Structure 1
Amino acid sequence: MKLVLAIVSNDDAALVNNSLTKAGFQATKLATTGGFLKSGNTTFIVGTQNDKVDRVIEILRRQCSRRTQIMPSTSAPDGTMYGTYPIEVTVGGATVFVLDVDRFEKL
């Protein structure tokens, strides 16, 4: 048995949740916040059999699109706000961890 932890953008969370449910996977959703952009994320926790992990990852890959977004840059190195320009960053996609499960019980 495996435990899949998937961190996805809030923009993609509804599609991921619906797709996982339609495919028969039970998932727990947690509201999380990223450190770099300080934007909202959703972390999905999915317990599944070893042979179904690739299907979960396929769903995530299909529903979590990477895209660019313009963000205001931080203050200049001297601490002032002048001279800063917006920067383009890549958002979306998914960060996925697959962990071994030593024991599973549904009580």
Structure 2
Amino acid sequence: MKLVISIVQDQDANDLVEALTDSGYRVTKLATTGGFLKSGNTTLMMGVDDDKVDNVMDIVEQICKTRKQVVTSPTPATGAASVYMTYPVEVKIGGATIFVVDVDRFAKI
């Protein structure tokens, strides 16, 4: 058995949970916050049989698409260490970060 941990954008989370549960997977949903964009995201955890991991990853890939977003990035102004200018920067968001971890023991009580 594997523990699949998927970190996805909030806007993809509900569709992903629905697709996973429709496919017979049980999902635990956690509200989390990313460090770079300081925006909300969702972490999903699933206990999955070894032979089902690729199927779960395929579902995540189908739902969680990457897209571009413009954010402001504070940059120190030239010659002034305590003054910051903000510049728009285009970053790629979305998609998913997935961890697959071995489960030594599983119990449902």
Per the alignment, residue 82 of structure 2 pairs with: 79
Q: State how 1:1-107 maps to structure 2 within 5 Å.
A: 1-76=1-76, 78-82=81-85, 84-107=86-109
CA shift digits 1:21-47 (9 cap, x unpaired): 110000000000001111101000000
CA distance in 2, matches of 1:13, 1:39: 14
Q: What SS does structure 1 have at the residue aligned with 2:87?
A: coil
Deviation at 1:89, TM superposition (A): 0.6
Deviation at 1:81, TM superposition (A): 3.6
Q: Equivalent pairs: percent with the same residue?
A: 52
Q: What SS does structure 2 have at the residue aligned with 1:72?
A: strand
- TM-score, normalised to structure 2, is 0.92
- TM-score, normalised to structure 1, is 0.94
CA shift digits 1:16-71 (9 cap, x unpaired): 10100110000000000001111101000000100000010001001001000011
Q: What SS does structure 1 have at the residue aligned with 2:74?
A: coil
Q: Which has the higher strand share?
A: 2
Following superposition, which runs of at least 4 residues in structure 1 exceed 4 angstroms of deviation? Answer: none
Q: Structure 2, unaligned stretches of length 5 or more?
A: none
